[in-house]
Amino acid sequence: MTNEVEFSSLTKDDAKITFEDPSHISKPSDEEIAQHRKTRLALVVVFAAIVIVMVVAAVIIIIVAPKCDKKEEVPEEKKSDETLKNETLKQDEWLKHGIIYQVYPRSFKDSSGDGNGDLKGILNKMDYFTELGVQAVWLNPIYDMKNYTVIDSMFGTMEDFDKFIKEAHEKGIKVIMGFVPNHSSNEHPWFLKSKKDDKNSYRDYYIWKGGPAKNETPNNWISVFGGSAWTFDNATKQFYLHQFSKEQPDLNLRNEKVKKELQDVLKFWLAKGVDGFNFDAVQFLIENENFGDETPNSNYNASDLKYDMLKHTLTFDLDASRALVKEFQDFLNKQNGSLPILFTEVEGPYDKTSKYYEVSDIPFNFGLITKLNEQGMTLAQRINKTVMEYLASIPKGKIPNWVTGHDDHERVGNRVGKEKRHAMNVLALTLPGMVSTYYGEEIGMLNGKTTNPDDPMESARTPMQWNAEESAGFSTDKPWLEVGSDYKSINVATEKTDKDSIYSKYKELVGLRRNASALVEGVLKEVHTDLEVFSFIRSHENQHFLIIINFGDKSWNGDLDKISGRGMVVFDTESNMVGQEVDVNKIKLNSGQAVVLKNGKNKWHLQ
């Protein structure tokens, strides 16, 4: 019997081996031995080639395959704060020179004819934002305080919001949403469950404390609106804390469940497409957990409690509040896609407010609203002090910002004078960083009338003045607040036809700012400040602009302290000097007038 093995690389005759009885086997010839050696060598070569191919393929796969980062080697927080931020560059460009337009939704435009502004009304004015040259629209809260993920019915529906945000993004406009994490409505389901009894799971969503008796509060804390910050609940015989009105109970933000609930709300709106949030009242988020009394000031009067009667060292601007803001910032940084911006509303000395740059993207700077009433100084001197102190307080690499109007403050023309409205717009739009414009400031709106003694700031929330028609073009019905009595002369339609109007000059300066690198990235150097004038230079590479603003009540014809030479006038609130080359020390400005000069062939020189 024979066994045969065939190799395809050889002929059958060459490869055939016959096994026989060993006793009958003769020695192979030299020729046969040589042939077998060739066969073995061929097999070795083939197998070696296969092994080499497999090794090379494995190496290639290792090189080109996506690498899996070990979670322990890249901590989640580090990845969020560094890698994701660097990839998205969320703060770099538009915020450096961006203009955010704040809309008070109830007062902007009524589309339904019920006297209240709404989302459809804002949507119908989307072209206005692009014409004005703004990069973002900041909406005061539009959600229902009884349900954070529902649009307040006064403003429309979620479908209206979806259409609004889609249109805004198509036009390249970002949407910033106002959000108040400090408190909810007393009609919110969380609070209604919380007050049922003192043992349910929602009880700790708010801050409840027992007092010695119904008329004896847990401590002497005072509400921002006056009166005690505690309200007694008859059902459970305890007090709940509200740093604002009793209809706005403070959330217990030391409770991890509450923080998670609010984070889920933020995720909901991010999924809807919002580009960022403005957190209001962040300095009130956390109170001292010992709940002791605050120290009274000399004006303390127990029978007529006002907020300024206490030193608010236990309830305002605690380190724990900033730490909580950072938790929210870190949470937002971890979200997929383009990272949302977190703005925070803070007030106080700059050495305090600047700390919020460490925990949020941009803390709004209200200095041009709250710091211009210092006694013993003129407006120009106060503005100079505020600007220079603020810029010195900003951490390196952070973006400055300037707020000139807001729904909780009087309008700029009522604070600094009607004739200074041009000047304040020029100041904000020529300083380094981002600008926030409150609706109507671009046309110079003034305070309206208010009959609400509990909220005097309604005077700064009167309806937007679109034209000289009935109700200023805001609504076809009686507006929720009376329109300003000056609406026939101060309105968008009228000012569009006047090249020297506040609106036209605002737009002109926005265009100059957009096309001038020195006004976007340039450093600022103070040149001159006296009783009437504040002047400074913005410089970037070979581009230089000199800004001179008369904040005085009379004309100015003085000399600038630290500069001499000539410049070309490229902007003038009164238009008379545009295109002229002038001696920088022979410029006459009327009260409230401002000019911008560019360094031309005959350059000015700093002394």
For position 39, what pLDDT does the model report? 61
pLDDT of residue 212: 63
Confidence at 607, pLDDT banded by 50, 70, 90: confident
For the residues 20-30, what does the mean pLDDT come to?
A: 48
User: pLDDT for 57-99, tens place per residue?
Assistant: 655 555 555 444 433 333 434 444 444 444 444 445 788 889 9
pLDDT at position 63 is 54
Q: Look at residue 187 and tell me if it is in a domain.
A: no
Active site residue 280: yes
Last residue of a domain, one of 489, 515, 541: 515
Residue 498 makes CB contacts below 8 A (sequence gap 6+) with: 504
Mean predicted lDDT score pLDDT of the chain: 88
Q: What is the mean pLDDT of residues 354-372?
A: 97
Please give the distance of CA 197 from its chain centroid, rounded to a whole number.
Answer: 39
Tell me: pLDDT of 41 over 50.
yes
Q: 41-55, 88-102, 449-463 — which one is most confidently predicted on average?
A: 449-463
* Contact call for residues 223 and 243 (beta carbons, < 8 A): yes
Residues 565 and 425 occupy one common structural domain: no
Is residue 14 in some structural domain? no
- Which amino acid is it at 313? T
Q: pLDDT grade, residue 27 (50/70/90)?
A: low
Residue of 110, 275, 280, 508 marked catalytic: 280
Domain CATH number, residue 583 = 2.60.40.1180
What DSSP character marks residue 81? I
**Each residue's pLDDT tens digit, 561-578:** 889 999 999 999 999 999
Kindly indicate the confidence band of residue 1, based on its pLDDT and cuts at 50, 70 and 90.
very low
Residues 487 and 537 in one domain: no
Q: At which of 465, 496, 515 does a domain end?
A: 515
Amino acid identity at 432: P
Task: Tell whether the model's pLDDT for residue 30 goes beyond 60.
Answer: no
Q: Which residues of 114-147 are buried (b: 16+ CB within 10 A; e: fewer)?
A: ebbbbbbbbbbbbebbeebbbbbbbbbbbbbbbe
66 vs 46: CA distance, rounded Å: 32
500 and 529 belong to one structural domain? no
What residues contact 55, with CB distance under 8 A and at least 6 apart? none
Each residue of 138-193: pLDDT tens digit? Answer: 999 999 999 999 999 999 999 999 999 999 999 999 999 999 999 999 999 999 99
Interval 265-283: pLDDT, tens: 999 999 999 999 999 999 9
* Whether residue 143 is found in the same domain as residue 123: yes
Sheet holding 362-364, edge to edge: 362-364, 341-345, 276-279, 174-179, 136-139, 99-103, 434-438, 401-403
pLDDT tens digit string along 108-128? 999 999 999 999 999 999 999
455: confidence class by pLDDT, cuts 50, 70, 90: confident
Q: How confident is the model at residue 387 (pLDDT cuts 50, 70, 90)?
A: very high
Whole domain around residue 577: which residue ranges?
522-606
Tell me, yes or no, whether 379 and 496 share the same domain.
yes
560 and 416 in a common domain: no
Q: Across the strands, what pairs with 548?
A: 535, 595
Task: Give, in order, the Cα–Cα distances in Å from 446 to each of 108, 194, 451.
Answer: 15, 43, 16
Give the pLDDT confidence score for residue 19 in this predicted structure.
Answer: 39
415 and 490, same domain (yes or no): yes
pLDDT band at 51 (very low <50, low <70, confident <90, very high): low
CA distance linking residue 528 with residue 534, whole number of Å: 6
Q: Which residues contact 304 (CB under 8 A, 6 or more apart)?
A: none
The whole-number pLDDT of residue 70 equals 36
Query: Which tens digits make up the pLDDT trace of 232-271?
Result: 999 999 999 999 999 999 999 999 999 999 999 999 999 9
Confirm whether 440 is domain-assigned: yes
- Is 382 in the same domain as 501? yes
Confirm whether 243 is domain-assigned.
no
In-domain check, residue 510 = yes
Residue where one domain finishes, among candidates 480, 515, 550: 515
Determine the average pLDDT of the residues in 294-316: 97
The domain that holds 118 is classified in CATH as 3.20.20.80
Model pTM?
Answer: 0.84
Number of domains in the chain: 2
Q: Which of 345, 441, 532, 572 is catalytic?
A: 345
Contact by Cβ (8 Å): 198, 208:
yes
Closest among 472, 124, 139, 469 to 275, alpha carbons compared: 139
Best CA proximity match to 345, nearest among 320, 327, 370, 315:
370
